[in-house]
Structure 1
């Protein structure tokens, strides 16, 4: 992308997403993730209404009555964005490509993070780690991230979510809040890596998908291409049986994905490229309060 065009696009994304984070997410982001950056402060006797998960069993056993751990909120969080940059993100049939929506969601979260005085970093992944931007603060850093989101060219078109999660677990030593933004079209098993990463960090999954992946239109013969492998084939979309089989495949895939998130205790949200991601993010934040 040419420099002038890139600057215009960065500015457009900044105006739109900073406005969203200022006006819509003010307070929502902070309250949704407030309990995730907590430091141990002291213990005190259990009081009615305390969360039993905060009971310190060692102290309780020593004094023969319940004591709870008291936590203080750390002044800042570290937020990591794990961005899928594989070939399948370069697809869109209605309003925009998946990649464009991923960019806007990531930029909105980034502005929400710096508004809250948090550090923000990025891991770009395909079937390998494409780029790591260490967490920092400030508008200049955010604009650099947005430029990369818009203009980054991956060296591989394939996906391996497990690699991205393992890198997060190993590279970020201190507990952070991490958003995995992907279409989650990945045939490899990443459940174990997801569970391990979520034990160390506070993980949130944001799935971006196109409605034509979920439901084929009846438009007769259609040439389809796998964006990651390059494989092409013709399919007859006028076949009701084919459309039904495709729909069932998608529903099964979504059910497995949802089950994976539930078993790994990871909060998640799915957003279609022709839908309002603002509403989806607000629902996600509300679910965490």
Structure 2
């Protein structure tokens, strides 16, 4: 892509993303994620209606009366975007490719973060960490991230979510708010997800295309997998083939749901060709309601 085309695209995404973060997301983002960026300062006696999760059990045992921790909100958070750049994201049966939807969602999150004076960093991953942009503040930093999102060319087409999560766990020494943005065409990452979710405030953003879930009757079709780097002929006119594909997709979705639930990681699902505002707001509001 020519530099002038990249700049035009960056500008277009900047205008749309800043508008959404200004009008819709900044307040919701702040109230949804500020609770994990808190510093313990003192204790006081428990009062009716206090969050029992904030009880200081050591002080309570010492005085034989419940006490809760008082927190001061830290002035800033660190936000880390883990973005899947593997080959399966260069697909979309609707208006958008998965990677285009990921780019806009990541841009909105980045602008929401800097409006709250937060630092933003990015981990691009395939089956390895392709690039790490350390967290910083400022508009120029966000524009650099958007440009990388648009024009980044990964070395590998495969996916290893565990590798990205292990890098997050090791690279980010202090607790951060992290968004894992992927189509989750992978398996065996449950342990890494649980460990990263325990250390950091992690949310999963699952990007789905309708063809990930089912295939229509299109006759004999040549299907190509960028991740596997091979093509196969599939007889989609066969009901058995279509049913097997749908059954496999359903079992994979159940596996993912179980992995997220066991690890305690919040998840929002986004479908290509549909508006991403509603599920993103839904994630923020669900988190806010639990505060």
Partner of 1:105: 105
C-alpha deviation, 1:128, in angstroms: 0.6
Instruction: Report Cα offsets for 1:52-82 as digits up to 9, x if no partner.
Output: 1111111111111111111111111100000
Question: Is the counterpart of residue 160 in structure 1 residue 160 in structure 2?
Answer: yes
Instruction: Give me the whole-angstrom Cα distance separating, in 1, the residues matched to 2:242 and 2:212.
Output: 11
Instruction: Report Cα offsets for 1:99-136 as digits up to 9, x if no partner.
Output: 10000000010000001111000000111110000000
Instruction: Give me the whole-angstrom Cα distance separating, in 1, the residues matched to 2:191 and 2:184.
Output: 15
Partner of 2:230: 231
Structure 2: segments with no counterpart, 5+ residues: none
Structure 1: segments with no counterpart, 5+ residues: none
Partner of 2:136: 136
> What TM-score, normalized to structure 1?
0.98
Instruction: Give me the whole-angstrom Cα distance separating, in 1, the residues matched to 2:163 and 2:49.
Output: 41
Partner of 1:42: 42
Partner of 1:211: 210
Matches for 1:245-284 after TM superposition, within 5 Å: 245-284=244-283
Describe the SS at the equivalent of 2:148. helix
Partner of 2:148: 148
Partner of 2:241: 242
Partner of 2:62: 62
Instruction: Give me the whole-angstrom Cα distance separating, in 2, the residues matched to 1:286 and 1:237.
Output: 41
Question: Is the counterpart of residue 30 in structure 1 residue 30 in structure 2?
Answer: yes
Instruction: Give me the whole-angstrom Cα distance separating, in 1, the residues matched to 2:226 and 2:24.
Output: 35
C-alpha deviation, 1:26, in angstroms: 3.0
Q: How many residues align?
A: 288
Instruction: Report Cα offsets for 1:216-262 as digits up to 9, x if no partner.
Output: 01111111111101121101111112111111111110011011000
C-alpha deviation, 1:210, in angstroms: 1.0
Partner of 1:90: 90
Instruction: Give me the whole-angstrom Cα distance separating, in 1, the residues matched to 2:42 and 2:85.
Output: 43
Instruction: Give me the whole-angstrom Cα distance separating, in 1, the residues matched to 2:153 and 2:261.
Output: 32
Moved more, 20-29 or 162-171: 20-29
Instruction: Give me the whole-angstrom Cα distance separating, in 1, the residues matched to 2:24 and 2:49.
Output: 31
> What TM-score, normalized to structure 2?
0.97
Instruction: Give me the whole-angstrom Cα distance separating, in 2, the residues matched to 1:140 and 1:152.
Output: 17
Partner of 1:78: 78
Instruction: Give me the whole-angstrom Cα distance separating, in 2, the residues matched to 1:283 and 1:243.
Output: 32
| Alpha-carbon contact 2:26-2:113 (below 8 Å) kept | no
- Aligned Cα RMSD in Å? 0.8
Instruction: Give me the whole-angstrom Cα distance separating, in 2, the residues matched to 1:230 and 1:223.
Output: 13
